[in-house]
A = this chain, B = another copy of it.
Amino acid sequence: MTSVLLIEDDPLVRRSLELALGRYGYTMITAATGENGLSRFTEEAPDIVVLDLMLPGIDGFEVCRRLRLDSQAPIIMLTARTDDLDVVGGLEAGADDYVVKPVQPAVLDARIRAVLRRAVSDLDGVRSHGSLRIDTESLTVTLGGAPVPMTPTELRLLLTLSRSPGRVFSRQQLLEEVWGHGYLGDSRLVDNGIMRLRAKIEDDPAHPEYVQTVRGFGYRFGPV
């Protein structure tokens, strides 16, 4: 049984989502404020959090950030506007997905399943993105079923990037995490590593599908 913590201040929305998701078989825990949500979270250890952006007191972004401080639990943001900034901010704050209000329960259910599936497949040590499959236990990478031989650095790079799909890593961060030592000058080293990685997993390295360049900042794994 999957438990969902719903943090939403509007009593009407809260109640209706509680009932609807309950009908989908989720165990519902609700909170009307960010503070209450955070404390319910530590008490109940839910499997997933559905979080409204607009909250009295500490807002959704902040709640998201605090949850992320000591938990990897999946978070789905509820946002009222179609404002892209909210979405970006939400994902930046550590949300795994977002849904625009008003939301149909069936949509939310689908998103919850999708996010949980992703989280669980991470547990089994397998990360799938398109036709790329990364097994973190056997340290094997397959592309459309065909195994891709990887060198240690390429593999560490891919593992690091794919651990947080969508997140932008600066060259400095990648140097720290993949190469380990505090390199000073040569961030071209990272570019080179990325290139070698792309050569192996990208069909068309000029238009990479998995490892994106974020000019001026660094690199990012996965779509948008």
Chain A residues at the B interface, C-beta cutoff of 8 Å: 1-3, 12-13, 15-17, 19-20, 23-25, 27, 42-47, 70-73, 102-107, 110-111, 114, 116, 119-120, 123-124, 135, 137-140, 147, 151-153, 155, 166-168, 214-217, 220, 224
Which B residues are CB-close (under 8 A) to A135? 166
- Copies of this polypeptide in the complex: 2
Tell me which of B12, B72, B216 contacts A42 (CB under 8 A).
B12
Task: Please report the C-alpha to C-alpha distance between residue A107 and residue B105 in the assembled complex, in whole angstroms.
Answer: 24
**Contact between B217 and A104, CB atoms less than 8 A apart:** no
Asked if B3 contacts A224 (CB within 8 A), the reply is no
Q: Within 8 Å CB of A3, what residues of B?
A: 20, 23, 105
Contact A216 B104 (CB under 8 A): no
Is there an interface contact between B166 and A137, defined as CB atoms closer than 8 Å?
yes
Residues of B within 8 A of A71 (CB): 102, 104
Q: How far is B138's CA from A64's CA once the two chains are assembled, in angstroms?
A: 27
Residue of B nearest to A166 (CB): B138
A13 to B44: give the CA distance in the assembly, Å. Answer: 9
Residue contact A44 to B19, C-beta cutoff 8 Å: yes
Contact B12 A43 (CB under 8 A): yes
